[in-house]
Amino acid sequence: MAAFAAGSLPRPAPYVPFKPLALAAAVAIVAASSLITAPALGQSSGGARADASTPLIDSAAFLPPAPPTVAVEWASPEPPAAPREFRGAWVASVANIDWPSRPGLSVWEQKLELIQLLNRAADLNLNAVIFQVRPAADALYDSKYEPWSEYLTGQMGRAPQPYYDPLAFAVREAHARGLELHAWFNPFRARHDTPLSEASRTHVSRTHPRLVRRYGKFLWMDPGEPAVQARSLRAILDVVRRYDVDGVHIDDYFYPYREYDRRGRLVQFPDDASWARYRRRGGRLPRDDWRRQNVDTFVRRMYREVKAAKPWVKVGVSPFGIWRPGYPAQVRGLDAYRELFADSRKWVANGWLDYVVPQLYWPVAQTAQSYPVLLHWWAEQNAKGRHLWAGNFTSRAAGLASPVWGTGELLEQVRLTRAEPGASGNVHFSMKALMPRPLTGPARPLPDAAAAVAGAASDTAPASGMSAAAAVGAGALPRMLGEQLRIGPYASPALVPASPWLSRARPASPRARTRPDSSTGGLLLTITPSGRQPVRRWVVRARYDDRWTLTLLPQSQRQLLLAGATPGERSAHPDAILVTAVDRFGNESEVVQAASGERQGRRNSKRQRQRSVVRGQ
């Protein structure tokens, strides 16, 4: 059984959905219990100040976790290989797009919303979230370099009260659900066009105003200033070193998108000072090439310095989906090379990243920006064999952005991604599009679930009888889209693809044993780590006669109950249980077969008797 068989398409095992009402009930129960310290005063019952490094609540103690990744079945004589596909979603904090849903929520509400997002991601068999932590020279984490983000409390520089660190909380809860968490940074944006508060005294616009440029309604840090690049790299590396993140991620904002005056004339980005300094020091590049060189330098340094700090942390970039018009020939649109000064093709070709997520935000049939045509072009540029994961405008399929697509468009894009040999996953913008209902506010009535799911596969109105507009208004499309993904392309779990250019070394195989569970009649599998290499996931394969099940578990889950099956369908207990470990690089260990606890117990008893004889006991 050294090799795993691909087998036929998996059939999902019975599925038990996560119930949001149980979450609310759990919160209500705990709110009335003695588990809570005095949040208003930040003090324990004894009067001493609560430890600020410890979250006020440990959600694992009372919030129902997302269900373990569902098992799937293969009809194969050989054990199945675990599917590999990146299934991610952006969680945007800028302008409170995804989380938190609005500024000024209590810590309790912020944590509850984040748990709901992560539970939903796990429920849909996603395996990663890309979590925005630095939207505008601020921080959604405890930073000594950047002020607290106004999107948390409504006031830049104000820490959450009672104190907690949102990024530390998000990392812990994501990993508990088998999700990777990639920290998403905006390296050069300094202020959004709709600020919620005055800039804090520690914001770069006040501490180093010479580095900041006003362009349109935004504030930007000038990429041509070496101090700006150093500042942004310092923020990224600070997170890499202090948090157990799985990746760092930047998007399409390098030099800003162009601004025009009221007469339609182009407004140049105001970098005259840094450009003049470059020329005085002997620089000979034309201005546009110099700007591209500035961005190239930042991307290359980011990759090198992240790898020097933690080689397993993946570095990803999500550029505008069109590199240049005419590449390939039929493509028309914004020239990111010329307007954003982003030579993203160079970064891919040189391997200055571990993954690229081009934002392919157009439908399949739109000839000038066709989704599959652009995806294939990106695959052709990937000479180093890095990960290519398509960025999808899922909010349009969910009715949250205009023009509204049918959910069938998104499902077809996922299918086409799988059909492209050079691609291995998708990232959805954004997580809100996959939620069953808004995070806050009363739930609105939804159409009949079965009819809604049936209608969601088409590009027309839902089959429930609601118009498309009514479905959007009722919040039905996000629910239908999520369900379509869960019963369709994401019905079976998948591991994040491995990154062999980072490491090919396999982690140590775990130890595994089983014992009968008297209360259920099933077998209780216990997994024990071995070796020093940290583990991210466990893979459990169980054989019932001629069928295999495969279950993916988070590292923190060390036990799995393998219940007896329905009599007459297959063996009551599995006749073989194989366990592997998956490390932070995505490498899978050698297989270990679980030992029977009863047999192991008899062997241990025999050894104990032998020792007793030797000792004369």
Those residues whose C-beta lies under 8 Å from the C-beta of residue 13, and which sit 6 or more positions away, are 70, 71, 72, 73, 549
Token look-up 């241990």 returns: 604
| Predicted local confidence at residue 573, as pLDDT | 86
* pLDDT, tens digit, 9 for 90 and up, residues 95-136: 999 999 999 999 999 999 999 999 999 999 999 999 999 999
State pTM to two decimals. 0.84
Those residues whose C-beta lies under 8 Å from the C-beta of residue 549, and which sit 6 or more positions away, are 13, 71, 72, 73, 74, 541, 542, 574
Closest CA to 457 of 402, 411, 499, 508: 411
How many other C-beta atoms lie within 10 A of the C-beta of residue 266? 10
CA pair distance 389, 357, nearest whole angstrom = 5
CB 126 within 8 A of CB 489: no
Domain 86-487 homologous superfamily, CATH: Glycosidases (3.20.20.80)
pLDDT under 50: residue ranges of the chain? 1-2, 6-64, 66-67, 441-474, 567-570, 599-617
CA pair distance 26, 4, nearest whole angstrom = 41
CB 543 within 8 A of CB 558: no
| Predicted local confidence at residue 142, as pLDDT | 98
Closest CA to 279 of 209, 338, 340, 224: 224
CB 513 within 8 A of CB 558: no
How many other C-beta atoms lie within 10 A of the C-beta of residue 204? 24
Token look-up 């087998």 returns: 7
| Predicted local confidence at residue 27, as pLDDT | 37
Distances in whole angstroms, Cα of residue 332 to Cα of each of 339, 346, 376, 407:
14, 20, 16, 25
Closest CA to 340 of 148, 187, 122: 187
The residue length of the chain stands at 617
**Distance between start and end Cα atoms, the chain:** 44
Residue type, 459: D
The full set of domain ranges for the chain reads 86-487
HSE, CB side, 13 Å, CA atoms: give it for residue 367: 2
CB 372 within 8 A of CB 420: yes
